[in-house]
Structure formats: structure tokens, C-alpha cells
Amino acid sequence: MNLETVQLSSRVSQSQGGEWSKYLWGVNEMKKILVIVLALILLVPVIASIQLAQPAAGEVLQSDKERITSPNVTQTEKALLVEGNSAFAFNLYQKLIKEVEGQDANLFYSPYSISLALAMAYAGANGETAQQMAATLQFMLEQARLHQAFNWLAAELAKRGEGAQGKDGKGFRLNIANAIWGQKDYEFLPAFLDVLAENYGAGLRILDFITETEKSRVAINDWVSNQTEGRIENLIPPGAISELTRLVLTNAIYFNATWKHSFDEKMTTNGPFYLLNGGQVTVPMMKQTESFCYTAGEGYQAVELPYDGGELSMVILLPTSGNFEAFEKGLQAQPVDAIISELQNTRVTLTMPKFEFKSQFSLKDTLSDMDMRDAFSPEDADFSGMTGNPELFISDVVHKAFVAVDEAGTEAAAATAVIVGTTSVPTEPPVEVTIDCPFILLIRDIETGAILFVGRVLNPAV
């Protein structure tokens, strides 16, 4: 690789961009567009092993730096990364619920995916742009240490699921992939590409946004679809990228895991689920009695369902009837951490709905409202760490998610599946947890405490 600069630059005629292009040409000579795309899928349950990013197919301009496989990160730095990511996860939650309208407004997203993709952009940010990004995203470490900490967390997640089995016979899968898509012949600094290669395993795939805009959009969407096993299609809508686009950062997550304690399909029956507006819907309700980690407090119950392998889990927060909105309003990282710390092994009779839905939204306005304004401003954005001059700005951050929860049997798994249960007769009746009203869910890595997914289910029938 040329250590002075990577040549990826090209010119765009002023006539190509229409009115929007004419406007941009008048701003500080020209601001190029940086698009950040977040593709997420969670298929629960089935099982998983996490895999680090694989190079995108096609022409890739790779830094000559290898990914650091054993990053030197202190315990304090690890804790600060997870703490910051959790704080951002629930700050974002509070913003998103205000933007999602309606009694049936289910929500699902990956704060980890969002933080990871924006951290790649942060690697090229300077000045006030970098300060705003750090404050909004709750990045508590300085640049170099932050990227190594993200690399550490990815390496930890890559260890999960060894020996765990899945109902589709393919084993536990938590696949995390990053890719960078740059304009042909445009100039990006080697130092920026080195950070992404060493800490995110991402090479730069060359596209021609200027003369092949639609073809480039399709190529990125195809990559996302491939990384998510076809669950996320057409992530980038027409018009989201243009001939002014110079860089697209993508992060795709695919999660497929089975419960450690699967539900028996014969126990699933139709039952009522009570909505916030006082109505109700009839949905398939799964049921089992098993030992789960459980706690209860004023106005809520909480139960943790581990996935096969016992390394990741779903935590369900169930506010009491009539208390959902008040509970949700107070949902922040510290109260959630306190609830999780109080979970204790308990015999539970658990009844919960099957559900499946998608979430899709643009995060541009949301992040701007969270005081990350300059990154989206053609006049004020400073991503000079990418190119050597502050000509790039982020045009949008697109996020799409899919989640499906069912009984997740292990019948298609290898014969080495281990079913864990109690061997003694319980002396007390099990605690009843009936999830028949709106609830909040988290998917977390138990050892690190990292929250990978957050959602709420207001209506499992939609």
C-alpha cells in the first residue's frame, strides 16, 4: 500500500447532482457524502457462534496492517467501553420511543451495531465533530484506546457458542461483519484505513458512486443480504446514496440461537395479550416450568432466558399491568444493571408469546437531537482524519432489524446436545411469570455485560 495516501478520488460535474448537488457545490467548495449503514438481524431462538468480519467479495483495497488478534486492553478500559455502550443504548431508546407512534409500535435495534459502525466513522473525526460524537455515543476512552477496546469486545464475542447446537443443524451463529465502500480513485488517508483494518477487520471495497450509483447501491445491499442470510433485503433505499457519495460504512449482525431450555411446542396454545389501549389480541403463548434467573420489584418482574451454551441470554422486563409507560420512561443503564444484578436462580412457570417483526428507521434526526449535529452538517462536519481535509459529512445512518422468537427446538442439532435440568423435587411452588402485556427485552453477553440488542413488544400479533 502507498503509505502517503490511498488513491480513490474522482470528480463530479456540477450538473450531475441536480438541485441538491448545486447546493452542495456551494458549501466550502464541496462537501462529499458519508453514508453509514447498519444492518441487523436477530433470529431467536436458534444457536450461534460469533465470527469476525470477512473481507467483502470483489475488489478490496486492504491496509497492509493485520487485525490485532490480542488487543492489550485494561480491565478499566473494558468496563468503560461496556458502561458507555449501555448508557448510549438506553439514551437512544428514550429517543426512539418518542419517534415511534401508535399502540402497536414494537421496536427492535442493536445499540452495539450502531456504536460499532459509528466508531469506524469516529476514527476519522476531528474537532467539534469528534467531541459531539464522543459525547452522544458515550465514548469514554480516547481515540486509540477506544478502537482497541471495540476490537477486544469483538474478539470476546467471537469466542461464544463453541460446542453449542442449533435447531437448523448449523450451530450457534453470531456473525458480525464490517465493510467500507469507497469511491473509485478518491483519496483516503492510510492512517484511517489502518485503524479500520487493525481494529475492525475492514478493508475498503471500491465502487463507483459517480457513474454507477444504482449499481453501487445494489452491490452494498447484496452484501448486507449475504451477511444476514437473506433476512435484511434492500437496506439502502433508492436515493439514499448519490453521485456525491464518497464513503459508505456498513455493519451487519446476524444472530441465530436456540434456548438452553427449549419450549415444548405441544404446550403452546392461543391466549390473550393485553394492549396499552385496553384492547387485546389472541396470539400463540409458549409455556414451560424451569429454573431461570428471576427477580421482582415494585411494579415489575424480570426473568433471564439463557441461550444454548449459557454465554448469551435474553432478559425480559415485564412491568405490571398499567405500569408500562412509567417503567419505560425510567429505563436507563443504571436501573437495568441493578435489576440484572438482583437476578437469582428460581423455579419459574413462564408463559410468553411467540412474535416476529421488523424495525426500520433513519437515525439522522435522532442522533442530531442527541447533540451529534455537526457530523450531519455540510458546513460544520470535520472528518479530516479520513481524507486530510474536512469535506465529508454523514448524509444518513440507516438501521433495519428483524427479530423472531419461538419455541426453538433442538431436534435438528447434533446428538451431543446437553439438556440441563434440576434433579431434585422443588420444595416450593414455582413463581408464575405470565407475559401477556407489553414488555421490554434485552439480548446481552453475560460475561462482559455488553448489551447487543434492545427492543420492546407492545403487540406480538403485528
Same domain, 156 and 206: yes
pLDDT digits (tens, 9 = 90+) for 126-158: 999 999 999 999 999 999 999 999 999 999 998
Average pLDDT over the chain reads: 81
Q: Are 305 and 259 in contact (CB under 8 A)?
A: yes
Domain assignment present for residue 11? The answer is no
The total of structural domains in the chain comes to: 2
Residue 120 has pLDDT above 70, yes or no: yes
pLDDT digits (tens, 9 = 90+) for 356-378: 888 888 898 999 999 999 999 98
**pLDDT at residue 164, rounded to an integer:** 66
Residue 26 has pLDDT above 70, yes or no: no
Torsion of CA 187, 193, 196, 197, to 10 degrees: 140
Residue 170 has pLDDT above 70, yes or no: no
**pLDDT at residue 12, rounded to an integer:** 35
Domain assignment present for residue 72? The answer is yes
Domain assignment present for residue 142? The answer is yes
Cα separation of 130 and 139, whole Å? 10
Q: Which long-range contacts (CB under 8 A, 24 or more apart) does 52-56 make?
A: 52/154, 52/155, 52/158, 52/176, 52/201, 53/176, 53/177, 53/178, 53/179, 53/200, 53/201, 53/202, 54/177, 55/203, 56/179, 56/203, 56/205, 56/223
Grid cell at residue 364: 439522522
Grid-cell match 448449523, residue found:
170
How distant, in Å, are the alpha carbons of 253, 376, 385 from that of 437? 29, 38, 48
Domain assignment present for residue 440? The answer is yes
Same domain, 133 and 281: no
**pLDDT at residue 17, rounded to an integer:** 42
Q: Residues of the chain with pLDDT > 70: what percent? A: 80
* β-sheet bridge partners, residue 296: 301
What CATH number did the domain enclosing 297 receive? 2.30.39.10
pLDDT digits (tens, 9 = 90+) for 195-254: 999 999 887 788 888 899 999 899 988 988 888 888 788 888 888 888 888 888 887 777
Same domain, 236 and 364: yes
Same domain, 341 and 245: no
Same domain, 370 and 344: no
Domain assignment present for residue 201? The answer is yes
- Bigger pLDDT: 192 or 255? 192
